[in-house]
Amino acid sequence: MVTEEEILARLKPGCICKGIKLHRIIQAIENGATSFKQISQITGIGGGSCGSKRCGQKVAELLKYKENIELFAREEE
Ligand code: FES
């Protein structure tokens, strides 16, 4: 079953200038990407008119979020 969060990520932009949806960035992170460069290579974000400022901020927030989730999970063990 697809969650509401997943549906929203499919609709929200990850890179407005190239029309790349947020869920592609999330997928790249879930598949192991750990840097903007890796995510850029996988998804194609970062080469548009924003010069990585807009999408770079989103990626930084998502990577930080994942890092915090993993840290929290380790502390729970
Ligand atoms: S939002 Fe498109 S390259 Fe940054």
| All structural domains of the chain | 4-76 (1.10.10.1100)
pTM: 0.86
Distance 5 CA to ligand 1 centre (A): 22
Q: Kindly tell me the burial class for residue 48, based on how many C-beta atoms sit within 10 Å of its own C-beta (0-12, 13-18, 19 or more).
A: middle
**Element holding 13 (H helix, E strand):** strand 13-15
Give residue-wise pLDDT tens across range 29-53: 999 999 999 999 999 999 999 999 9
Q: Is the pLDDT of residue 20 over 90?
A: yes
Query: Which contacts of 53-57 are long-range, i.e. CB under 8 A and separated by 24 or more positions?
Result: 54/15, 54/16, 55/14, 55/15, 55/25
The pocket around ligand 1, CB under 6 angstroms, is made up of 15-18, 45-48, 50, 52, 54-55
pLDDT bracket for residue 24 (50, 70, 90): very high
- Is residue 23 a contact partner of residue 9, using CB atoms and an 8 Å limit? yes
DSSP state of 77: -
Cα(42) to centroid(ligand 1), Å:
14
